[in-house]
Amino acid sequence: MNLPLSLLASSLLLALAGQSNAFSLTMVSESTSRRSFLKTAPAAAAVISGVALQTASPAIAAPTIYKTNSGIKYAVTKDANKGYPQQGDICAIEYTGYLTNGAIFDSTHSEGKQNALLFKLGNEGAVIPGINEMVAEMKVGQKVQAIIPPELAFGDKGICLDDGECLVKPGSTLVYDIYLKKASIPPP
């Protein structure tokens, strides 16, 4: 039974109050009330601390942040035990791209898109350089969250319309959640 600590403590105190005069507002004499308090207080304290120890949840450790030589910072959010893709392999990834303010600017799960993006690893122009590099570091089945600096994203150009409105402003650092679904040797 996982009840909140305050509910358990309140129930315990009410039960003890019903069994003794220790928690009564009226006192017959000072000595009897002290004696009865001293008899029940250690037991109540022990039970309450035991409940507190049982309901305390362990602290969750922060993920390890890695950094590539080119400046991409990333954390592994789901590990995998499969192999790494090789340059030239066809890779299938699912991703969501965020601006640093948390706004999503692109995703493989957007309306009208398939569930995965297929590209040849190492092929320039298929994806931004930061995604290409990050996928080369990943194991098949692994998920990462990567912070990609502007020079490995859309650089000084950004993604802007002719009228000057920008989906991704020039010089923007981007955040990507990337899942490497599959990697396979390309057909001959």
> Is the pTM for the entire model greater than 0.85?
no
pLDDT of residue 16 exceeding 80: no
Banded model confidence at residue 15, pLDDT cuts 50, 70, 90: very low
C-alpha distance from residue 76 to each of 34, 80, 166, 171 (Å): 58, 10, 30, 25
Burial class (CB in 10 A: 0-12, 13-18, 19+), 40: middle
The set of residues, in sequence order, having a beta carbon less than 8 Å from that of 30 and lying 6+ positions away, is: none
Q: At which residue do the structure tokens 């650089």 appear? A: 155
Interval 68-92: pLDDT, tens:
999 999 999 999 999 999 999 999 9
